[in-house]
A and B are shown apart, each in its own frame.
Chain A
C-alpha cells in the first residue's frame, strides 16, 4: 500500500478508538466534574461492561444481533447499578474526600478485577459482532492523464466499526442534551457549582451524586460492550483503558466534557497513526510524560478555560 491509503486506514482505526475513548473518558470526566472524585476503578467498569457483554450474549439466543442488543442494554444497567451501590456504601461514607476516595477506588479496582479473575477466569473471550460486512474504501490518485479511482487492497472498514463511531456520537449528544436541557442535568450542574448551596435549595445532592456515579460507570460499561466484538474481553483490559482515559481527561481539562471529546479525538487519532509508524511503547511513554507535564504546567488542560 502507498503512504496515503495507509494513513487513511490508520485514521479510520484511530477514529474507532477515539469513539470508544470519548465515551469512557466522558464518564470519568462527568464523575470528576460533578463529584470531584477521581474514579481509579473506571477502567474496571469498562472491563466489567465487556465481560457482562460476553456473558449476556452467550446466554441470550436468537442470533448475534438480538444477543448484542440485549448486551448493549443489560451490561451498562448492571454496571451502573453496581456503581450506585459502591457510591452509597463506600464513597458517601467517605464524604467524597478526594484523597480517601482515590484510595478506596484503588481498592475497588482490585476487588472487581480479582473477582472477575475468580469467576470469569483468565481467558480472553470473543463476542460475535451483530453485523460485520467489509466495506472497501476508494482512493483517488493522479495517474497518467487524470484523476482515477483506486480500490487499494486492504483499505477497508467493517460496518460494525462504523456503527461504533455512530453509536458513540449519538450517546455523547444524548449526554450533552441531558446536561444542558433536562431538569436532572440542571440539578447536576447545580451540585457541581456549589454542592452546599444546592443542598440548601433542597436538591438531593447525595442522590444526584449516586446517579452521576452510576451514569459515569454505565458510560464506561457501554464503551466496553462496544469494543468487545473488536477486542476480546479479558480481566486485565481495564488498565490500559484507564490510562488512556486519564490522558484524555487531563489533556481535555479536568471535568470539561467538550474538552474531553476533543482530546479523545486527538489521542485516538494520533495513537492510531503513531503506533502504525512507531513503537507503541514509545508512543505510550511520550503520552504519559506529556500528560504529567500538562498537569504540572497547565492544570486546566490544553483546551480548558481557567481553573476553578
Chain B
C-alpha cells in the first residue's frame, strides 16, 4: 500500500473506531470520550504551532476561552442561536490570534513563551474584571433550550458524542491537509531552521502568523464547542492550567504528529481521572508527566511510533 493510502487508512480508521465506540461504550466512558475528543481538537490546534512550526506558546487558554466566551456571551446577552454563536466564537478566536500573533511574533524563544503567558493572564483577569457579564470564576450555564443546533439537542449524550466526533474529525483532517500542504511544509522548514527558510525567500513572519491564526482558530472552535456541548462557560478555562494542558497532551502524544494530540489527551485524561479518585492533588500527575516527558521521551508516543514502526506518520 502506498504511504498516502496508509495515512488515510490510519486516520479514517481512528474516526471509524470512535464512531463504533459510540454504540458500545458504557455511559461514563461515553461521556469521557466525548469530552476527550473536544479537548483533543484543542490539542490539534496547539500542535500546529508547537509541533509543526516549533513555537511554544504558554497562552493558548486565551484562544480556547475566546472561542468559549465568544459563543457563550453571544447566546447569553445577544440571544443568538447556536450556529451563529459558534461562528462568533470562532471569529473571536481568529481575531484574538491575529492580534496576539502580530505582537508576540516580534519575539522568539523564551520571550515568546512569556509574552503569550502574560497576554493569556491579562485575558483571564479581563474575564474576572467584567464579572457582571461573564460571571467570573463562577461562570454561567447555557440552558438546554439554547443548545439545539438545527433541531438536534446537543445536551443529549448520544448527539453530543456524535457532534464531538464531527468536530474532532474536521480538526483532524484539516490538520492532516494543512501539514501535507505546501504551507505546512514551510511551517516545518521554519521549525527546523528559521534562517534557512528566510534565505529561501519565504516571508517567515507571515507564515508564523498564519500558523498562530490557524492554531488559535482551531483552539477557539474547540473552546466554543466545549461550551456548547457541555453547557457551561467559566473563567477556569482561561487559567494558566488550560494553557499547560494542551502542551502536556501534545508532548505526551508526540508533537509534530497529527494523531499525537488525541493519544496524549486520552491518556492524560484517564490518568488524571483515575488519580482524582485517590487524591485531590491530581495535578501532581501532570507535573510528574511533564518532567518525565522532557527528560526521557521528548518525542512522545507518536514520535516513538514514527521512529520504530511507522516512518511515514505525518
Contact = CB atoms under 8 A, between A and B. Distances in A.
Contact of A110 (B104, B109, B283): B283
Most B CB contacts (10 A, CB to CB) among A106, A113, A117, A239 go to A106
Interface string A108-120: 1111111101100
A243 B281 CA distance: 22
B125 interface: yes
Chain B contact residues: over half helix, strand or loop, or mixed?
helix
B289 interface: yes
B122 A90 contact: no
A281 B128 contact: yes
A52 B72 CA distance: 43
B111 A104 contact: no
B287 A109 contact: yes
B290 A110 contact: yes
A104 B298 CA distance: 11
Contacts of A100: 294, 298
A110 B287 CA distance: 5
Contacts of A239: 240
Q: What range describes how many residues of A lie at the interface? A: 35 or more
Nearest to A250: B114
B246 to A, nearest CB: 12
Nearest to A100: B294
Interface string A269-287: 0000000000101101100
Contact of B114 (A38, A94, A107, A112): A38
A113 B273 CA distance: 19
A104 B244 CA distance: 12
A67 to B, nearest CB: 28
Nearest to A281: B129
A108 B287 contact: yes
A291 B118 CA distance: 7
Given A102-B113, A104-B295, A291-B118, 4 more contacts: A109-B287, A114-B287, A285-B122, A289-B118
Interface of B: 56, 58, 103-104, 106-107, 109-111, 113-115, 118-119, 121-122, 125-126, 128-129, 240, 244, 247, 251, 279-284, 286-295, 298
16 contacts: A38-B114, A90-B291, A94-B295, A98-B109, A100-B298, A107-B287, A107-B289, A108-B287, A113-B283, A114-B287, A117-B280, A118-B281, A246-B118, A295-B107, A295-B118, A296-B115
